[in-house]
Amino acid sequence: MSITIENILLIGSLLLFISVIAGKPSYRFGVPTLILFLGIGMLAGTDGIGGIYFDNPQVAQFIGIVSLNFILFSGGLDTSWNSVKPILKEGLILSTLGVLLTAITLGLFVYYLTDFTIYESMLLGSIVSSTDAAAVFSILRAKSLALKKNIRPTLELESGSNDPMAYVLTIAFLTLVVNQDQSFTSIIPLFFQQMILGAIAGFVFGKLSKLIINKIKLDFEGLYPVLVIALMFITFSATDFIGGNGFLAIYICAVFLGNQDLIHKKTILKMFDGLAWLMQIVLFLTLGLLVFPSQIIPYMGIGLVISLFLILIARPMSVFISLMFFKMKLRRRFYISWVGLRGAVPIVFATYPLLAGIDKANIIFNIVFFISVTSVLIQGTTLSLVAKWLRVAEPNEEKRITDVDKLIFDLPKSSLQEIKILPKFNAINKRIVDLNFPKSAFIIIIKRNGEYIPPNGSTKIKTNDILMVLADGQEDYDKVNDCLCNSTSLKH
């Protein structure tokens, strides 16, 4: 069956429906949903029962880039700066030096194992050098796995920020494969240009995006997530246009926005969480359709050897070398090594050699696809088991309750404090987003003239309002009173 304009919506919606419905029971059998989505795409493809013919790497790459924008941006919005700050150095080292060491180690192994040239081997190593944000975010969060100390923030920061490094290495070694006369040193300026411009652009667009979101006055709450989507794509494309790394820029921009006071922030976060899941499904379905299982079979042997080397040697070696100057227990290093999940990102990057038309592009794509599948199957299904074995998992009763969790519990009234807004308060006629509220304090509801008003960032405080406030302790309540009363505590 060929995909046409007439049937694409029907086929797409049916595949999406099947993926969503089948996703929930899959975890009862320990199968990560990402593999399920990929399998559904393969079954629907040319070699499967669906017989849908799809062999367009360019379209797949476009869908992959769009999907990665949403996945990385959503992951960045959910990243708490307070949890990331203590492990910032470790995370950045893993996402740069760790990725480079993985690419080199695996590249050298492939070079001595196969008939690939050194640059082709390094290209393959670069493509699978980063942990996959979609795989790590979805599996860790779906399993609700509570990990000790700062392991989880380290893993999420690494997976969210290491794709740019892998992308740069992939483009650099692909350039060397295509242009045999270029030297290795010629790609070094490209690396620094991509990373430096990407980081600067991400921070600049983050600041601009916050200003635009909070200052622009839209008539409908539902338009704010649409506005953020536009800002996300502007950040990516503008950064790419000036020669920076767009993936790095959108992740930094999202982390910045996720830790700021924004109008309708809750709506934006919920919208992006749903869109991230949608894009993960679409991405894996597309990649499943793109692959021809019959073409993978001849490379399963070499693919398995390379995959096991990556899981058991290359990844652990890169982690241990990268973290050698940090204080960390041995079992935590081993667990970080184990959560080196490869997923959709390497498969998307593997479409670049296909579009460049290099000789071994199909071989590289099929090997990368097999590596990604085996990585998620082997590592993704054993995250909880290995965590318990290495004693890095927290007991169920010790799992921490997040700020968002507190808001959805049925809290007794004694857990809240009512604060009446007196005429002398300087918060009067100020928007909630402009108040310097402590991060651990929330306005649950506002009682005004006998009516209850659900607050959002654009809600203005009025005289005689009664605020129902939830906070961690008395110190936070004192800060709340201070920012409501004193004009010096208000943001300008």
pLDDT value of residue 410: 43
Q: Which pLDDT value is given to residue 309?
A: 95
Q: Nearest CA to 379 among 198, 117, 135?
A: 135
* Whole-number CA gyration radius for the chain: 24
Distance from C-alpha of 230 to C-alpha of 246, rounded to nearest angstrom: 14
Task: Identify any residues that bridge with 45 across adjacent strands, giving them in sequence order.
Answer: 52
Three-state DSSP state, 401: coil
Q: Which amino acid is at 341?
A: L
The pLDDT score that the predictor gives to residue 491 is: 46
Tell me where in the chain the CATH 1.20.1530.20 domain(s) lie: 8-398
Domain 403-489, CATH homologous superfamily name and number: Regulator of K+ conductance, C-terminal domain (3.30.70.1450)
Q: How far is CA 237 from CA 61, 69, 170, 244, 283, in A?
A: 15, 10, 19, 10, 20
Residue length of the chain? 492
Q: Residue 38 is encoded by which pair of tokens?
A: 């990929």
Q: Report how far residue 91's alpha carbon sits from residue 94's, in angstroms, rounded to the nearest whole number.
A: 5
Contacts of 312 (CB under 8 A, 6+ apart): none
Which pLDDT belongs to residue 117? 92
- Residues of the chain within CATH 3.30.70.1450 domain(s) are 403-489
d(CA 53, CA 46): 5
Measured between alpha carbons, how far is 160 from 235 in angstroms, rounded to an integer? 16
| pLDDT string in tens for the chain (492-residue length) | 555 666 667 777 777 787 777 665 555 544 566 677 777 888 877 777 777 777 788 888 898 899 889 988 988 888 878 778 888 888 889 989 999 999 999 999 999 999 899 999 999 999 999 887 666 766 666 555 667 777 888 887 888 788 888 888 999 899 889 887 777 777 788 888 888 999 999 999 999 999 999 888 887 888 889 999 999 999 999 999 998 989 889 999 999 998 888 888 888 888 888 888 888 888 888 888 888 888 888 889 999 999 999 999 999 999 999 999 888 888 889 999 998 888 778 888 999 998 988 888 999 999 998 998 888 888 877 887 888 898 887 654 444 444 444 443 444 444 578 888 888 888 888 888 788 777 777 788 888 887 788 887 778 888 888 888 887 677 778 888 888 887 444 443
CATH of domain 8-398: 1.20.1530.20
